[in-house]
Structure 1
Amino acid sequence: MKKVTMTHYMELLATNQPWNLIIFMAIPVILAETVAITELFILFKRDTGSGIRKLNKVAGIIGGFYFLGVFIYLFFNAVIPLTTKGGWRGIGDIIAVGFYLSGVVPLMGMALLELGAIYKNKTPEQKMFLHAVFVAIFLAVAHIAMIFGMLNPELLMVGGGNMNM
């Protein structure tokens, strides 16, 4: 029977069940999806003051800083060791982990926007537009990470074996 190889992305989620799945997938996705769903209502109604907007704001701030913590932890405990020891399982593995971690950019962008640290002197419409752009970017990178994360990394390997970077 052939051993099934998985990306480090999937291995992380499958290890230490259910905790890694909760910490690295459920919490960030619940916060991000809360932002995405409430964003639709806000954009449709041009709502800037209701409870839905407050939920969107709180989920955006918490999600951004939570994922910054995930990013820092995984960067130092996974990315650097995998890179220095040549432990990557091919380009699909790198894409999955890289796109997962790149989610920190739009999520922190949302958090900083909500806190008024960026785009301070813009109109509410301009801020709403940038917020929606951050949501769209996060959804795109998260789905790319999931697609490549679920792929058997051997399918994209040339010559087999681990990659030395």
Structure 2
Amino acid sequence: MSMTHYMELLAVNQPWNLILFMAIPVILAETVAITELVILFTRRFDGNVRRLNKICSIIGGFYFLFVFIYLFISAVIPLTMNGEWRGWIDVIAVTFYLLGVIPLVGLSLLDLHIIGRSWSEEKKLKVHAIFVGIFLIVAHIAMIFGMLDPSLGSGHGHHMNM
């Protein structure tokens, strides 16, 4: 069975690639998601939970921006230039993984007051929650397509007997 470049990235150089490209961004993003729920329910815009939420969203956004730049330069451009994509499933997996940069950087910019400076706390909370939701959607699409055998998209899938 062949694998997508997304899954191959996580599988090689164990455990470092898994830690750098999956564990760190997901732990930061899920910490933001969980603390976001606490903030949404309590409406407390201060305190330790909000502080943790803010720290994780700022670090997560900038961390993933560096991941995005690194993978775009070292993987996406060479794969595209050399025609080495493994079909449309492979492209979707990698593209949606990298699309996570938009909501994560959005969270950072919001928490650094670069965007939404004049917004009410309610509006900031709403936009923050929307960014978290968008990240969860693109990350899950990346994971689902990343786990598929890319040859399934070509109509010539491998058949394995169990």
CA–CA separation in structure 2 for the residues paired with 1:36 and 1:153: 30
Gaps of 5+ in 1: 161-165
CA–CA separation in structure 1 for the residues paired with 2:42 and 2:55: 19
Q: Deviations over 1:47-80 (max 9, x none)?
A: 1001000000000000000000000000000000
2:160 is aligned to: none
Q: Deviations over 1:125-144 (max 9, x none)?
A: 00000000000000000000
CA–CA separation in structure 2 for the residues paired with 1:134 and 1:38: 14
Structure 1 residue identity aligned to 2:118: N
CA–CA separation in structure 1 for the residues paired with 2:156 and 2:117: 51
Structure 2 residue identity aligned to 1:31: L
1:74 correspondence with 2:71:
yes
2:135 is aligned to: 138
1:58 correspondence with 2:67:
no
Moved over 6 A (4+): none
- Where does 1:106-117 land on structure 2 (aligned, <5 Å)? 106-117=103-114
1:163 is aligned to: none
- Where does 1:88-107 land on structure 2 (aligned, <5 Å)? 88-107=85-104
Please state whether the residue corresponding to 2:46 is helix, strand or coil: coil
CA–CA separation in structure 1 for the residues paired with 2:119 and 2:86: 44
1:36 is aligned to: 33
Please state whether the residue corresponding to 1:35 is helix, strand or coil: helix
Deviation at 1:158, TM superposition (A): 5.0
CA–CA separation in structure 1 for the residues paired with 2:113 and 2:49: 19
1:14 is aligned to: 11
Equivalenced residue count is 157
Q: TM (normalized to structure 2)?
A: 0.95
Deviation at 1:114, TM superposition (A): 0.1
Q: Aligned residues: percent identity?
A: 66
Structure 2 residue identity aligned to 1:14: A
Which of the numbers 146, 152, 156 marks the counterpart of 1:155? Answer: 152
Q: Deviations over 1:13-59 (max 9, x none)?
A: 00000000000000000000000000000001111001000000000
Structure 1 residue identity aligned to 2:45: T
Gaps of 5+ in 2: 158-162
CA-based RMSD: 1.0
